[in-house]
């Protein structure tokens, strides 16, 4: 017992890394789909879904892409699920990039989705538009204007018909791994749009107070939020819109359990050691 | 003049931005665009300064053989990306975009994902119930962790409910206090800069 205790106390961190690695990688391997657990959507994620579902054809949705590849695992599946849902609803989608490192990632993702047979009818400038890069801090100043987007962006397209300022936006979704979207919440007072947030798991608690006050209409939080959204869209349209988030949930589950196990073992070792020392 | 001009600029911009909420018109729109473009230009200049700084630092590393090969690789990659961007643009399907999607994106995602390993190791070594307070924190965090995975509800149906209560009540209350404190601090700082009382940004 004493030997085990000593070994556990001085456990090589590489063993911890190996177990975490295996818990993440094994559920992602082909043939391990039986490890996927169904996620039940939370009311916050459902709020976003309901908002988009309630839009009419031709309404405008703004997607503020404020994340770079470091948050790709959590936020890219969210974007893909939102974008597919918007295309299903035939609403106009305006995408602007507040993160310079996110532009190529975003454009590539849009290109892949619009290349799918189901969505290949979507045309840039008519059904969706990439509004390019607007630096954080400058974006608020530009969008906080009463002149039209078209003039500001020097972009052409039928998509701008009837959409001149943020007042004409029905719903805005902010994707980020930071607290940057607080400013978008403040802007609602002036332009009266509804705002939903899709953030990394670690940022979720920061936005809970805004959800409670009703300033934010819906929040998709972390990989789970993305998996929930994939399920909501799949259930609604009775097609397989499950993507990397749903698959990743099994990986997330097992890695959580491994960390949970380490915390428990760490505490047992601590108490046994404490008792031994008196 | 070194101090007076920045203070004056602070006051003028403060008036313009604040007035924007009360006065509409073309002047306000143009001044916003002016500042937004200014920010973009400042960003571009910042990138140029950054490239110069990295090139200069790595030049000395190459010269004095201080991790020479890493320095060569670093500088070569910077200039390769600049070169690819200049010759064929950055749009989808270009060599720049290919390099970005197939090299930069996986690298950045990998570096961020390393956190999972450090968190597991740190949790094992330091997340211990050494007092009542840390015990409460430990139990709360385990419940929240379990409530975030689908298996949590399978273990005990009340885990998601308790997890949600922790997030919506104690956690949210603390977060509100932080947000209020942050905003009050921002307003104070804004007023101090506006009246020229805060001069730390002028290297004072």
Does position A96 have pLDDT exceeding 60, yes or no?
Answer: yes
C-alpha span between B101 and A246 (Å, rounded): 23
Q: Is A21 on the interface with B (CB under 8 A)?
A: yes
Interface of A with B in 208-247 (CB under 8 A): 208-209, 212, 222, 224
C-alpha span between A30 and A47 (Å, rounded): 33
Query: What is the domain range of residue A120?
Result: 39-242
Q: Are residues B109 and B8 in the same domain?
A: yes
The tokens describing A189, both together, are: 């007072």
Read off the pTM: 0.87
The nearest CA of chain B is from the CA of A103 a distance in Å of: 9
pLDDT band per the 50, 70, 90 thresholds, residue A178: confident
pLDDT tens per residue, range A33-92: 888 888 889 999 999 999 999 999 999 999 999 998 999 999 999 999 999 999 999 999
pLDDT given for residue A19 in this prediction: 94
Q: Considering B68, B89, B114, which residue would you say is the last residue of a domain? A: B114
The nearest CA of chain B is from the CA of A108 a distance in Å of: 6
C-alpha span between B82 and B47 (Å, rounded): 12
Is residue A247 in a domain? no
**Is A182 exposed, middle or buried, given 0-12, 13-18 or 19+ CB atoms closer than 10 A?**
middle
Residue with tokens 């001149």: A164
Contact by Cβ (8 Å): B3, B199 = yes
Instruction: Give ipTM to 2 decimals.
Output: 0.82
Kindly determine whether residue B39 and residue A138, on different chains, have CB atoms separated by under 8 Å. yes
Chain B CB contacts of A257 under 8 Å are 149, 151
Q: Compare CB distances from A70 to B108, B119, B120 and report the shortest one's residue.
A: B108
Q: Are residues A196 and A237 in the same domain?
A: yes
Does position B145 have pLDDT exceeding 60, yes or no?
Answer: yes
Is residue B119 in a domain? no
Q: Are residues A167 and A273 in the same domain?
A: no
Which residues, in sequence order, are bridge partners of residue A66? A176
Rg (CA), chain A: 22
Q: Is A124 on the interface with B (CB under 8 A)?
A: no
The three-point CA angle B15-B20-B26 to 5° equals 115
C-alpha span between B18 and B121 (Å, rounded): 49
Q: Compare CB distances from A266 to B104, B127, B167 and report the shortest one's residue.
A: B127
Q: Are residues A194 and A265 in the same domain?
A: no
pLDDT band per the 50, 70, 90 thresholds, residue B197: confident
C-alpha span between A158 and A146 (Å, rounded): 20
Q: Considering B114, B136, B151, which residue would you say is the last residue of a domain? A: B114
Is residue B122 in a domain? no
Is residue A248 in a domain? no
Residue from A19, A28, A70, A200 to probe the interface with B (highest B Cβ count within 10 Å): A70
Q: Compare CB distances from A263 to B127, B154, B172 and report the shortest one's residue.
A: B127
Is residue A83 in a domain? yes
Kindly determine whether residue A16 and residue B117, on different chains, have CB atoms separated by under 8 Å. yes
Q: Considering B81, B114, B147, which residue would you say is the last residue of a domain? A: B114
Q: Are residues A93 and A212 in the same domain?
A: yes
Instruction: Identify the three-state secondary structure at position B126.
Output: helix
Q: Are residues B49 and B97 in the same domain?
A: yes
DSSP B168: I
Q: Is A48 on the interface with B (CB under 8 A)?
A: no
Chain B CB contacts of A205 under 8 Å are 167, 171-172, 175
pLDDT band per the 50, 70, 90 thresholds, residue A184: confident
Is residue B121 in a domain? no
DSSP A34: G
pLDDT band per the 50, 70, 90 thresholds, residue A174: very high
Total domain count for chain B?
2
pLDDT given for residue A138 in this prediction: 60
Q: Is A114 on the interface with B (CB under 8 A)?
A: no
Q: Compare CB distances from A16 to B40, B106, B124 and report the shortest one's residue.
A: B124
Q: Are residues B132 and B89 in the same domain?
A: no
Q: Are residues A166 and A44 in the same domain?
A: yes
Q: Is A205 on the interface with B (CB under 8 A)?
A: yes
Does position A143 have pLDDT exceeding 90, yes or no?
Answer: no
Q: Are residues A95 and A197 in the same domain?
A: yes
Contact by Cβ (8 Å): B117, A20 = yes
Rg (CA), chain B: 26
Q: Are residues A114 and A137 in the same domain?
A: yes
Q: Give the mean pLDDT of B142-167.
A: 90
pLDDT tens per residue, range A216-269: 999 999 999 999 999 999 999 878 888 889 989 999 999 999 998 999 999 998
Q: Are residues A201 and A101 in the same domain?
A: yes
Interface of A with B in 130-189 (CB under 8 A): 134-135, 137-138, 141-142, 144-147, 152
**Is B181 exposed, middle or buried, given 0-12, 13-18 or 19+ CB atoms closer than 10 A?**
exposed
Is residue B52 in a domain? yes
Q: Are residues A68 and A46 in the same domain?
A: yes
Q: Report chain A's mean pLDDT, rounded to a whole number.
A: 87
pLDDT given for residue A20 in this prediction: 93
pLDDT given for residue B70 in this prediction: 92
Q: Name the more confident of A147 and B134.
A: B134
Is residue B24 in a domain? yes
Does position A141 have pLDDT exceeding 80, yes or no?
Answer: no
Q: Are residues A264 and A195 in the same domain?
A: no
pLDDT given for residue A147 in this prediction: 55
Q: Are residues B107 and B141 in the same domain?
A: no
Total domain count for chain A?
2
Task: Give the rounded percent of residues in chain B with a pLDDT score beyond 90.
Answer: 42
Q: Are residues A181 and A44 in the same domain?
A: yes
Residue A266: closest CA among chain B residues belongs to which residue? B124
Q: Are residues B157 and B195 in the same domain?
A: yes
DSSP A273: H
Query: What is the domain range of residue B103?
Result: 4-114
pLDDT given for residue A140 in this prediction: 61
Q: Compare CB distances from A69 to B108, B117, B168 and report the shortest one's residue.
A: B108
Chain A CB contacts of B176 under 8 Å are 209
Could you tell me how many CB contacts below 8 A there are between chain A and chain B? 150
CATH of residue A229's domain is: 3.40.50
How far CA B159 is from CA of A59, B123, B144, B153, B196, in Å, comes to: 39, 21, 8, 6, 53
Q: Give the mean pLDDT of A181-192.
A: 80
The three-point CA angle A208-A213-A214 to 5° equals 95
pLDDT tens per residue, range B73-90: 999 999 999 999 999 888
pLDDT given for residue A254 in this prediction: 92
Q: Is A262 on the interface with B (CB under 8 A)?
A: yes
The tokens describing A65, both together, are: 């892409």
pLDDT given for residue B3 in this prediction: 80
Q: Are residues B97 and B133 in the same domain?
A: no
Q: Tell me which residue of A116, A74, A106 sits closest to A221, measured CA to CA.
A: A74
Contact by Cβ (8 Å): B159, B146 = yes
Strand order in the sheet with A60-66: A128-133, A92-97, A60-66, A171-176, A194-199, A219-221
Is residue B27 in a domain? yes
pLDDT given for residue A151 in this prediction: 59
Is residue A238 in a domain? yes
Q: Is A108 on the interface with B (CB under 8 A)?
A: yes
How far CA A9 is from CA of A23, A276, B126, B142, in Å, comes to: 22, 13, 12, 21
Contact by Cβ (8 Å): A227, A249 = yes
pLDDT given for residue A146 in this prediction: 57
What distance lies between CA A11 and its chain's CA centroid?
A: 36
Does position B61 have pLDDT exceeding 90, yes or no?
Answer: yes
DSSP A38: P
The answer to whether the Cα torsion of A100, A102, A108, A111 is positive or negative is negative
The nearest CA of chain B is from the CA of A56 a distance in Å of: 31
Count the neighbouring beta carbons within 10 Å of the beta carbon of residue B104.
17
Kindly determine whether residue A17 and residue B149, on different chains, have CB atoms separated by under 8 Å. no
Q: Are residues B100 and B140 in the same domain?
A: no
Chain B CB contacts of A262 under 8 Å are 120, 123-124
């Amino acid at each position: 017992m004493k030997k085990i205790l000593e070994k556990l106390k001085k456990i090589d961190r590489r063993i911890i890394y190996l177990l975490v690695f295996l818990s993440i990688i094994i559920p992602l391997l082909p043939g391990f789909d039986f490890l996927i657990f169904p996620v039940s959507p939370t009311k916050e994620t459902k709020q976003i879904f309901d908002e988009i579902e309630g839009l009419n054809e031709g309404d405008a949705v703004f997607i503020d892409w404020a994340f770079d590849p470091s948050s790709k695992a959590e936020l890219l599946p969210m974007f893909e699920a939102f974008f597919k849902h918007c295309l299903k609803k035939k609403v106009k989608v305006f995408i602007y990039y507040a993160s310079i490192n996110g532009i190529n990632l975003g454009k590539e993702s849009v290109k892949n989705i619009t290349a799918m047979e189901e969505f290949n009818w979507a045309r840039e400038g008519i059904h969706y538009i990439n509004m390019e890069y607007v630096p954080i801090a400058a974006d608020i100043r530009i969008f906080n204007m009463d002149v039209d987007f078209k003039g500001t962006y020097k972009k052409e397209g039928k998509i701008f018909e009837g959409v001149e300022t943020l007042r004409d936006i029905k719903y805005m979704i902010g994707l980020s791994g930071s607290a940057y979207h607080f400013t978008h919440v403040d802007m609602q007072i002036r332009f009266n749009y509804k705002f939903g947030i899709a953030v990394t798991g670690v940022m979720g608690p920061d936005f809970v107070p805004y959800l409670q006050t009703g300033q934010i209409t819906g929040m998709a939080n972390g990989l789970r939020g993305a998996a929930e959204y994939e399920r909501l869209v799949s259930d609604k349209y009775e097609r397989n819109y499950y993507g990397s988030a749903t698959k990743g949930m099994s990986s997330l589950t097992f890695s959580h359990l491994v960390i949970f196990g380490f915390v428990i073992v760490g505490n047992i070792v601590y108490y046994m050691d404490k008792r031994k020392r008196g | 003049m070194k101090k007076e001009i920045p203070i004056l600029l602070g006051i003028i911009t403060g008036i313009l931005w604040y007035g924007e909420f009360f006065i509409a018109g073309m002047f306000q729109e143009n001044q916003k665009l002016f500042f937004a473009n200014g920010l973009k230009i400042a960003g571009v200049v910042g990138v140029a300064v950054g490239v110069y700084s990295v090139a200069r630092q790595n030049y000395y590393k190459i010269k004095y053989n201080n991790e020479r090969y890493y320095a060569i690789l670093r500088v070569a990659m910077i200039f390769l990306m600049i070169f690819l961007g200049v010759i064929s643009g950055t749009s989808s399907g270009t060599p720049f975009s290919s390099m970005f999607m197939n090299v930069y994106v996986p690298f950045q995602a990998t570096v961020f994902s390393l956190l999972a390993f450090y968190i597991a190791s740190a949790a094992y070594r330091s997340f211990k119930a050494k007092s009542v307070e840390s015990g409460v924190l430990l139990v709360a965090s385990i419940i929240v962790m379990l409530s975030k995975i689908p298996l949590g509800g399978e273990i005990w149906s009340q885990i998601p409910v308790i997890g949600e209560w922790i997030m919506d009540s104690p956690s949210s209350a603390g977060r509100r206090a932080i947000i209020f404190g942050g905003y009050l601090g921002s307003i104070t700082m804004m007023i101090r800069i506006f009246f020229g009382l805060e001069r730390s940004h002028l290297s004072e």
